Each structure stands twice: as structure tokens, then as C-alpha cells.
């Protein structure tokens, strides 16, 4: 019996936040920062790790903190454009 071709697996479904997490990691590394350098009171290490690995979507609070407190370029994170 063949499996139904219309059933999509978890791996088949693209997660739009994968690129955002990858860009956050790229931005962090370009600044010479470790995950532990930007985690703490506002952002947990495990949450940042999950976002950067694409296992979790970034929250608005996380993006706001990285933008306001760490100088994150939101245009790059969202669109991939470097200003």
C-alpha cells in the first residue's frame, strides 16, 4: 500500500522563521558575540538557541530586545537586506 502523496510531513512544511533564526545567528557571530553574551534577564539561552536553530519562531519581545538593546538590524533579519 502506497502512502497518500497528499499528506505532508513535518519536514515538507517550510518554516518561515528558519531564515530569521539563521540571520540572527549570522548577525550575532558577525559582532563577535556568543549566545551567552546576549542572554540573561530578557532572553534565555535555550530560547535563543532554539530560534537560531530554526526550532522556534522568534517572539516579538526577543526581536525588540535584540533591536533596542543589542543594535540588531531588523531589516536584515526580516528581509535579508544589509543596510
**pLDDT bracket for residue 1 (50, 70, 90):** very low
pLDDT (0 to 100) of residue 49:
95
Identify the CATH number of the domain defined by range 15-79: 1.10.260.40
What number is the average pLDDT over the span 6-12? 55
Maximum CA pair distance of the chain? 56
**Burial 23-38, CB ≥16 within 10 A → b, else e:** bbbebbeeeeeeeeeb
Q: What is the pLDDT of residues 37-70, one digit of tens each?
A: 999 888 899 999 999 998 899 999 999 999 998 8
- pTM, rounded to two decimals: 0.74
Q: Average pLDDT over the chain, rounded to whole?
A: 82
What number is the average pLDDT over the span 4-32? 74
Report the chain's terminal Cα–Cα distance, integer Å: 53
pLDDT (0 to 100) of residue 2:
47
Amino acid at each position: 500500500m502506497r502512502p497518500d502523496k497528499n499528506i505532508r510531513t513535518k519536514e515538507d512544511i517550510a518554516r518561515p522563521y528558519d531564515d530569521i533564526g539563521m540571520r540572527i545567528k549570522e548577525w550575532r557571530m558577525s559582532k563577535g558575540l556568543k549566545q551567552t553574551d546576549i542572554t540573561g534577564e530578557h532572553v534565555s539561552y535555550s530560547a535563543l538557541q532554539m530560534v537560531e536553530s530554526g526550532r522556534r519562531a522568534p517572539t516579538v519581545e526577543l526581536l525588540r530586545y535584540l533591536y533596542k538593546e543589542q543594535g540588531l538590524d531588523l531589516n536584515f533579519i526580516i528581509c535579508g537586506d544589509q543596510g
